[in-house]
Amino acid sequence: QIKPPDSQIRESPTPVDVEKLNVLMYRFASRIGSFRRLAPDDFDAIAAADGAMRQAFWEFMSVFGISARRVYRGIYESTKRTPSGLMIPPEHVLANVQRMRDLERVAPGSVHFLYSERGIRNFARYTLAFWQRQYNERNSSLPYVVIMNSADLEMESLTSAQVYGTFQKDLRALETPHLMRMVEISSAPEMLRILVRLDRTYNSQGNNPIKSVIFDGHGSSERAVMRVRSEVTEFGQTQLRDARFRTVFMKHLSKAFAPTTQFIVGSCEAAKKERRSPPGFAVLLKEALVELLGENIRVAGSRGYVTQFTELTPRLRKDGALTVNAQSQPYEDDRKGMVTPRIKNL
């Protein structure tokens, strides 16, 4: 069920005590270290250390006034397993805690804002300067592009901070400067809620619809995958063939996009077209969007297997519409003989 969000930006309810964050971060780091030093067959000690480690993580998150459980599912449960099957937190879990602490130090209120308004859980994915800029531009009324990251933990498969940093600069340098707003999603309902919230916040007068939506995550010809380790959801053919979902989609997003908004789907085979197999879900997405916004809507995707965007180049058309030319990196197997996939308009 889609719950319409408030249009007012939610700031951090109370100032965060950075010194307390330091204490809790070092406590968490210490318990990770203790956990790693235990023998893999010392089950009682491992269980006790695991509980202490999770408690320290909960205490750290509670300082921000955000859901420790939701963030836990987003960054903590991805874990490498010991021979005994027990989970060991990877290095990026501690890196995420450190990044949240550092970001709160330079931009008070930023962690709560990015989590509650944009769904961000994985702060270690991108640099401190990247997130600080996302926060500092929160009240800007400039036209903007939305980047949708899947809230899973395979960070190496997502587009690099360098590519997005260059994209941000190029958007700013356009004749009409544009912004890039990053969000993380773990389900189709969350995707719709965030899009509606962005629309109500930045398009309340109906003059600043989303100019482009870029989905950066895993998927196949049937769907785009949005996941955290404890649950896997999707947005694809199943939803787009469902009349009720399309009705909800149109009801809540009819004013969020312009008739010329561009949608780029970065997951594998999204734009697949073959005579003897069903079309990629991006083809169905375009059908739904044409029904919603008209024939001038643009949808692009790859027909092959890709891992991440390697280039995002924005330009303004004569009619003022934004076009993003995207290039993607193929999987290793593609480089050995398959056609290099390109992001093309449908």
| Span 167-224, pLDDT tens digits | 999 999 999 999 999 998 877 778 888 888 999 999 988 889 999 988 876 555 444 5
Q: Could you tell me if 266 and 343 are in contact, meaning their C-beta atoms sit under 8 angstroms apart?
A: yes
- Please give the Cα distance from 143 to 203 (Å, whole number): 9
Mean pLDDT of the chain: 75
Kindly report, residue by residue over 13-63, the tens digit of the pLDDT. 566 777 888 888 888 888 777 777 777 677 777 777 777 877 888 888 888
The bridge status of strand 87-88 relative to strand 80-81 is antiparallel
State yes or no: pLDDT of 80 exceeds 70. Answer: no
For 313, residues 6+ apart whose C-beta sits below 8 A from its C-beta are 167, 170, 324, 325, 326
Q: Measure Cα distances from 68 to 62, 101, 137, 168, 274 in Å.
A: 7, 15, 26, 30, 45
What is the reported pTM? Answer: 0.81
Confidence label for 276 from pLDDT (cuts 50, 70 and 90): low
- Please give the Cα distance from 327 to 344 (Å, whole number): 9
- Please give the Cα distance from 37 to 212 (Å, whole number): 48
Helical (H) or strand (E) element with 231: strand 231-236
Confidence label for 147 from pLDDT (cuts 50, 70 and 90): very high
Q: Measure Cα distances from 322 to 144, 259, 263, 326 in Å.
A: 10, 11, 11, 13
What integer pLDDT is reported at residue 2 of this predicted model? 38
